[in-house]
Amino acid sequence: MNELELVATLLPYLAAADGDLVIGAGEDDAAAWREPDGSFTVATCDTSVEGVHFDLSRQQPEDVGWRALCFALGDLAAKGARPTYGLVSLSVPRRWGPGIAPGVYRGLAQLAGRVGLRLIGGDTTAAPHDGSLTLALLGTTRVRPVPRSAARPGWEVGVTGPLGGASLEWARPEPRLELGARLAAAGLCCGDVSDGLLREMDKFAAAAGVGARLRLDAVPLAPGVTDPRRALASGEEVELVCCGPGPLPAGLITVGDLTEDGKVIVVDARGRVVEVEDRGYDHFA
Closest CA to 211 of 277, 247, 256, 245: 256
> What are the residue ranges of CATH 3.90.650.10 in the chain?
148-267
Per-residue pLDDT band for 168 (boundaries 50, 70, 90) equals very low
Query: In this predicted model, what pLDDT tens digit does every residue of 97-136 receive, in sequence order?
Result: 999 999 999 999 999 999 999 999 999 999 999 999 999 9
Q: Which residues pair with 50 in a beta bridge?
A: 54
Classify domain 148-267 by CATH number.
3.90.650.10
Is the CATH number 3.30.1330.10 carried by domain 3-141? yes
Per-residue pLDDT band for 234 (boundaries 50, 70, 90) equals confident
Say if residues 172 and 107 touch (Cβ distance below 8 Å).
Answer: no
pTM: 0.94
Q: In whole angstroms, what is the distance from residue 174 CA to residue 282 CA?
A: 24
Q: In whole angstroms, what is the distance from residue 180 CA to residue 192 CA?
A: 10
The pLDDT, as a whole number, for residue 285 is 58
The pLDDT, as a whole number, for residue 284 is 57
Please check the confidence at residue 166 and state whether its pLDDT lies above 60: no
Say if residues 180 and 190 touch (Cβ distance below 8 Å).
Answer: yes
Closest CA to 241 of 66, 85, 28: 28
How confident is the prediction for the chain on average, in pLDDT?
A: 93
| Radius of gyration for the chain, computed over Cα atoms and rounded to the nearest angstrom | 19
> What are the residue ranges of CATH 3.30.1330.10 in the chain?
3-141
State the amino acid at position 138 in one-letter form. L
* Stretch (H or E) spanning 74: helix 61-78
